Structure 1
Amino acid sequence: MNLVYADEQGNLFDHPDWIGLGRSGDMIVELMDDELIPLPEGATLVGLPFTRPIGIHAASGEMRPLPGNVQAVGALLPQGYTRLSIPGYMKTDKTQKLPLFGYSAVVWKDGGFYAAAQRCDDPERWNPLNCDRGELNVQVERLLARYPENRLYKHLSNCALGYECLTASNTFLQRWEGAVPVSFSCNAGCFGCISEQPEDSGFPAPQTRMNFKPTADEVAEIMLEHLKAPEAIISFGQGCEGEPSTQAKIIIDAIRRVRSQTSNGYININTNAGLTDHIRAIVDAGLDLMRVSTISALDDHYNAYYKPRGYTLANVEKSLRYAADKGVYTSINYLIFPGVTDREEEMEAMIDFVKRTGLRLIQMRNLNIDPESYLELIPKPRGEIFGMKQMLEIYAQELPDVVIGSYTHVPPAPVK
């Protein structure tokens, strides 16, 4: 498997004399054949600035950086795929931080690009190629004209057309899972937040957070427009906003208005679930689905990344348990990273957490982060590192009734 690299102009090459490698945490690792799949449709290959790829020089058998003015290359995977390794590289300038993306190892093999990844869900609905940009433009103009005073539609139009966010795009295409952001504030200071970063963080947020407080009327308009199909999902809590439960009153009012007019579709919230009293009230208003973002079931790791303000991981657990007991289909948006998530202590803690909370679904989501910054932030490993592929197998064995996926699902129909 040939090492893949980029030159200073961004042109991609493979090197027949060098074997490509990956990384698990801070360890350079060999890539196994059963960890590699053909580069998925919808994936993007990118150069990693201020890096040099590390490979094995085939003739000498030595592991070392590729010489020359070259960059390491990573794959950005579409939803539905879990990365098993990050690219093998070294930084040429350790003061520089990589942009906030989830880089996967990539090599050239059998005449094509291969990524270190595993398919965990059906990627069809979240394939960017299935979003017709011409049709999207038409639908954006239609809904902006229909609701000229609705600031949320104007905000989401930039998310859909500017950032090419698929969830925002679905809101205008009126299909599948759509977005309805509500909050500009947050009760956590996530290290890898994609919508707000301190000026001295070293990596700019790739998205801009909403900067206004919507009304319940604006929220309900979007919800009613979207919830026309029986399997439609409308979701609070998007990348362009803060923590939605901080605006619980708006959400509760909107849910009640919507449910007084239609029973169609599913109402979902993507949340950190730290504000347990707010979550309980939202659940009681008529919530159907809840996806809770987490990176660990260990307090020290969770706190280092999320920097929670006024809540703890115990609050998150109480929120999940309450929602599950009330019949809400609960899941976690599990931010995963090779060499960290597959540590023995992380796996044991998360399996116990899933069992205690009655979770129905684990959405494996590749963490968008600069690897060095993340590894400096979190606790050091305390046990064995199993590898991502074996980790997925262990979860399937230990949690046979829990779906391992990559994005929001509707609950299965009851057995008659």
Structure 2
Amino acid sequence: MFSAVHSDRSGRIVVAADYAAAMSDGSSIGPLAAAVPLPAGSDVVQLPGRTGIGLDRAGRPRELGQGRWGVAAIVPIGYLRMGVPAYADDPGQPPLRPRAYAAVGADTNGELVVSAVALESDAAAADGRSAADLVARITATQREHPSSRVLRQLARCAKDYRCRAAANAFLGRHDCALPVAAPRNERPPEVLALHDDADAAPTEPAAFRPTPEELVDAASRHLEGGGTVVAFGRACEGEPLLAVRLIDDAIVGIRERTRLGTIHLETNGSLPIALRRLCEAGLDSVAIRLASARAETYEAIHRPDGFRFADVRASIASVISARVSVALRVLTLPGLTDRQRELDALIGLAGELPAKSSLVLCGLAADPQRSLRVAPASEPAEGMERMLDRLHTDAAHLRIVALPRPLVRL
């Protein structure tokens, strides 16, 4: 059995040994389940103004006491949270900052554990944010390319906001983000954010619109220097399909410079015609980002501006017909994604993808309790473990992963 933990007002983590660790599945509170030792690279955060909840000796949920705030973890890339923290919400408090909060507890030695499962054991290799020489590499690269606005922006993203894909630009490995300062065409409620919280803390989009030549220079440098993927549409970016002309020119220029690596796009799939144009320009892989495969839930969460869920489905079909590698990047939230109707819809959509395509599972950044009110449930959640079991069984033709991998045209 694991013990409950809480934080005091100073942020110190305290083990409440008289209470068992609890978690929420979105509809009820129970014992902490699917617990693993806190992975390296996790962020442990307090939930200000939210009293932590544990289980008494009879297994009943109990508040831990005034001033004893809840604690959560943000797990790194490669892990998927299975339960959210149990706490008493305070309507008088502002919403929690949207993050992919996972429930935590403490083992008999007082070491933290978290409700999560490892999707890919080697995903951590794609995260160089803790590399000892990162700052030195950033400095050296900027000295070598002093006029590159793209590298200057990526340096700021890597150092100030700890963006994983920005850091990779200076480490010459894995995927590198290519910022294009695209506008947004989604207006989600303030209690959630449509990004993968383990990848970055998006707070500052690019302050300039790069030229195609600037993007070509940054991309070819990465791919010719050991990197495997360059990606449009990451983290703090808006919707890249709204910058289709710029990206089209950049893709053509990259492929004129080098045939190495994968040119990847992450998108909400709002503009099927624009997406088809980028596929024809030489795009290698596409990940369609969504928090639900049900139109009603999708539109309540994403609040699309100028498009509907039918356009997203048309984009998926367009990518498949263009014979470009496709993935669904599913933003998961316990209590939402694991509802039966949500699962049925996701499995149905996944069934339209070619064999060996990917389901990229990551955590939806959200206030765990208030975000569920955006799409109220008419049924209890089945649990995240059941969700994974169903995906492995009913979408067995797909790869379930934590990161898009270097891919080529099918």
TM-score (norm 2): 0.92
Shift of 1:30: 2.5
Change (3 A) 1:412 1:323: closer
Shift of 1:146: 3.1
Shift of 1:405: 1.0
Q: Quote the Cα distance in structure 2 between the aligned partners of 1:300 and 1:147.
A: 48
Q: What is the SS of the residue equivalent to 1:227? A: helix
* Bigger Cα displacement from structure 2, 358-367 vs 296-305: 358-367
Post-superposition, which runs of at least 4 consecutive aligned residues in structure 1 deviate over 6 A? none
Shift of 1:211: 2.6
Shift of 1:273: 1.1
Contact 1:231/1:266 (CA < 8 Å) preserved in 2?
no
* Bigger Cα displacement from structure 2, 404-413 vs 208-217: 404-413
Structure 1 unaligned runs (5+)? 196-204
Partner residue in 1 for 2:125? 125
Alignment of 1:2 onto 2:13: no
Shift of 1:298: 0.8
Shift of 1:155: 1.2
Q: Quote the Cα distance in structure 1 between the aligned partners of 2:162 and 2:128.
A: 9
Contact 2:295/2:309 (CA < 8 Å) preserved in 1?
yes
Shift of 1:376: 1.8
Deviations 1:224-259 (A, max 9, x none): 101116761000012222111111111111111111
Shift of 1:5: 0.8
Identity of aligned residues (%): 27
1:327 corresponds, among 323, 327, 334, to 323
Partner residue in 2 for 1:17? 18
Contact 2:325/2:408 (CA < 8 Å) preserved in 1?
no
Q: What is the SS of the residue equivalent to 1:260? A: helix
Partner residue in 2 for 1:155? 153
Q: What is the SS of the residue equivalent to 2:352? A: helix
Q: Quote the Cα distance in structure 1 between the aligned partners of 2:226 and 2:311.
A: 32
Partner residue in 2 for 1:198? none
Alignment of 1:232 onto 2:242: no
Residues 246-257 of structure 1 mapped to structure 2, 5 A cutoff: 246-257=242-253
Q: Quote the Cα distance in structure 1 between the aligned partners of 2:337 and 2:165.
A: 26
> Aligned residue pairs: how many?
399
Give 2:119's aligned amino acid: C
Contact 2:284/2:409 (CA < 8 Å) preserved in 1?
no
Shift of 1:410: 2.2
Residues 10-409 of structure 1 mapped to structure 2, 5 A cutoff: 10-32=11-33, 35-58=34-57, 61-111=59-109, 112-122=111-121, 123-127=123-127, 131-133=130-132, 135-191=133-189, 192-193=192-193, 207-228=203-224, 232-358=228-354, 360-378=357-375, 380-409=376-405
Change (3 A) 1:267 1:413: closer
Q: What is the SS of the residue equivalent to 1:100? A: coil
Q: Quote the Cα distance in structure 2 between the aligned partners of 1:47 and 1:4.
A: 10
Change (3 A) 1:326 1:21: same
Shift of 1:280: 0.4
Structure 2 unaligned runs (5+)? 196-200
Contact 1:296/1:346 (CA < 8 Å) preserved in 2?
yes
Q: Quote the Cα distance in structure 2 between the aligned partners of 1:94 and 1:206.
A: 26
* Bigger Cα displacement from structure 2, 80-89 vs 308-317: 308-317
TM-score (norm 1): 0.91
Q: Quote the Cα distance in structure 2 between the aligned partners of 1:82 and 1:44.
A: 14
Shift of 1:194: 6.9
Give 2:204's aligned amino acid: T
Contact 1:55/1:88 (CA < 8 Å) preserved in 2?
yes
RMSD: 2.1
Give 1:102's aligned amino acid: A
Q: What is the SS of the residue equivalent to 2:154? A: helix
Give 2:205's aligned amino acid: R
Change (3 A) 1:119 1:194: same
